[in-house]
Amino acid sequence: MELSIVIPVYNEEENLEPLIRETTRALAPSGKSYEIIVVDDGSNDKSYAILTRLHGTETRLKVVRLRRNFGQTAAVAAGLAHAQGEVIVAMDGDGQNDPGDIPALLARLDEGFDLVSGWRFPRQDPFWSRRLPSSIANALISWMTQVKLHDYGCTLKAIRRDTAKDLKLYGEMHRFIPAIAYERGARIAEIKVHHRPRHGGKSKYGLARTFRVVLDLLTVKFLLSYGTRPLHIFGLLGLLSGVVGLLLAVFLTAQKLFYGVDIGARPLLLLAVLLIVISFQFVTMGLLGEMIVRTYHESQDKPIYAIKEILEARRTA
Ligand code: UDP
Ligand code: MG
């Protein structure tokens, strides 16, 4: 199988039928073998009933139904896990993405990339609640992860199978897929794709998502930069606060011993003690982190590197 289209769906009863129809029509000219995997993320409208009906007529449709609403990231992860295609295309279930863009994504992928991400342009969402927070988030994520994309929020992307299977997604990390893949050595590209206003149903997100994105960014940044060496960051913070704390303590002790100054009521004393205590905490946290990293990698034989290819030796004697 050449292609798997993965579509997470939560209460999209009005959008499913047109979307599946449009997708099959967009893929027909390519002559590729493909499957459409719709993950029903615990919808409580008629989505599943509609999918069951479509499943009867559309032979390329595969439906994965989750037991409850686990969230978009989990739904995408379920779709990736069940995909069999060499290339996996992820797409929204509300029709805001245009299946007509899929051939362009695949063409770009064939130029030698492992992941091609869509850039919704022009974006068809409200300005204050969506486009503004989103452009701030894009700048922040690009800056922190070093993977410069214009649109991290676009679900429409094409990913090579080995890259996709390597992804471990938690929280609301589907939007960090390019950054996570990049850390594993994937080559990333971005192309402009169409974006359409939502026709039926409601958006599942509001402004509250912004905070979760920022927190997830913190996790991603930490894991990408220090995931295999937590002591380097915690130890550095610990050493810094420890050195400053010690200097202060020495200064105060000298004042007390040589000049007889009363130091008992000085805020500086409190600060010195605080810095010394947290320096021990930082270092201990870093050491615990080091142990957890070892457990994480060694318990599941997960290497700290990713191999692209091996050319075996053809002779050993
Ligand atoms: N979605 C999902 N589970 C959820 C929330 C959303 O599977 O808990 C799906 C939703 O059905 C849609 C896609 O994720 O196909 C994107 O959601 P939405 O269109 O609401 O996001 P927006 O485009 O407003 O950012
Ligand atoms: Mg949408």
227-238 per-position pLDDT tens digit: 999 999 999 999
pLDDT tens for 150-166 read 999 999 999 999 999 98
Q: What is the mean pLDDT of the chain?
A: 95
The answer to whether 14 and 200 have CB atoms below 8 angstroms apart is: yes
Residue 178 — very low, low, confident or very high, per pLDDT cuts 50/70/90?
Answer: very high
* C-beta of 10 in contact with ligand 1 (< 6 A): yes
Is residue 317 assigned to a domain? no
Task: Please indicate, yes or no, whether residues 101 and 65 belong to a single structural domain of this protein.
Answer: yes
Task: Please indicate, yes or no, whether residues 242 and 210 belong to a single structural domain of this protein.
Answer: no
**Structure-token pair, residue 239:** 């050493």
pLDDT tens for 45-100 read 999 999 999 999 999 999 999 999 999 999 999 999 999 999 999 999 999 999 99
- 175 C-alpha to ligand 2 centroid (Å): 13
Task: Please indicate, yes or no, whether residues 279 and 130 belong to a single structural domain of this protein.
Answer: no
Residue 208 — very low, low, confident or very high, per pLDDT cuts 50/70/90?
Answer: confident
The answer to whether 95 and 196 have CB atoms below 8 angstroms apart is: yes
Closest ligand to 66 CA?
Answer: 1
Task: Please indicate, yes or no, whether residues 144 and 7 belong to a single structural domain of this protein.
Answer: yes
Residue 308 — very low, low, confident or very high, per pLDDT cuts 50/70/90?
Answer: confident
Task: Please indicate, yes or no, whether residues 180 and 241 belong to a single structural domain of this protein.
Answer: no
Q: Is 171 left (phi over 0), alpha (psi -120 to 50) or beta?
A: left
Is residue 305 assigned to a domain? no
Strand order in the sheet with 3-9: 61-65, 34-40, 3-9, 87-90, 157-160, 115-120, 188-193
Task: Please indicate, yes or no, whether residues 67 and 121 belong to a single structural domain of this protein.
Answer: yes
* C-beta of 14 in contact with ligand 1 (< 6 A): no
Domain count, the chain: 2
Task: Please indicate, yes or no, whether residues 116 and 248 belong to a single structural domain of this protein.
Answer: no
Helix (H) or strand (E) segment spanning residue 241: helix 230-259
> Measuring CA to CA, which residue among 82, 53, 78 is closest to residue 68?
78
Task: Please indicate, yes or no, whether residues 242 and 125 belong to a single structural domain of this protein.
Answer: no
- 293 C-alpha to ligand 2 centroid (Å): 36
Cβ-based neighbour number of residue 215 at 10 Å: 12
Q: What is the pLDDT of residue 210?
A: 83
Q: What is the pLDDT of residue 34?
A: 97
Task: Please indicate, yes or no, whether residues 211 and 244 belong to a single structural domain of this protein.
Answer: no
Helix (H) or strand (E) segment spanning residue 61: strand 61-65
Helix axes 16-27, 102-110, angle to 10 degrees: 50
Is residue 208 assigned to a domain? yes
Which of 193, 226, 259 terminates a domain? The answer is 226
The answer to whether 166 and 184 have CB atoms below 8 angstroms apart is: yes
Is residue 272 assigned to a domain? yes
**What residues contact 302, with CB distance under 8 A and at least 6 apart?**
296
Task: Please indicate, yes or no, whether residues 234 and 202 belong to a single structural domain of this protein.
Answer: no
Query: Which residues have their alpha-adjacent CB atom under 5 A from ion ligand 2?
Result: 92, 94, 96
* C-beta of 92 in contact with ligand 1 (< 6 A): yes
SS3 286: helix
Domain that holds residue 281: 230-299
Q: Whose CA is nearest to atom 18 of ligand 1?
A: 203
Q: What is the pTM of this model?
A: 0.90
Task: Please indicate, yes or no, whether residues 53 and 193 belong to a single structural domain of this protein.
Answer: yes
Task: Please indicate, yes or no, whether residues 206 and 250 belong to a single structural domain of this protein.
Answer: no
The rounded Cα 295 to chain-centroid distance in angstroms is 23
Is residue 24 assigned to a domain? yes
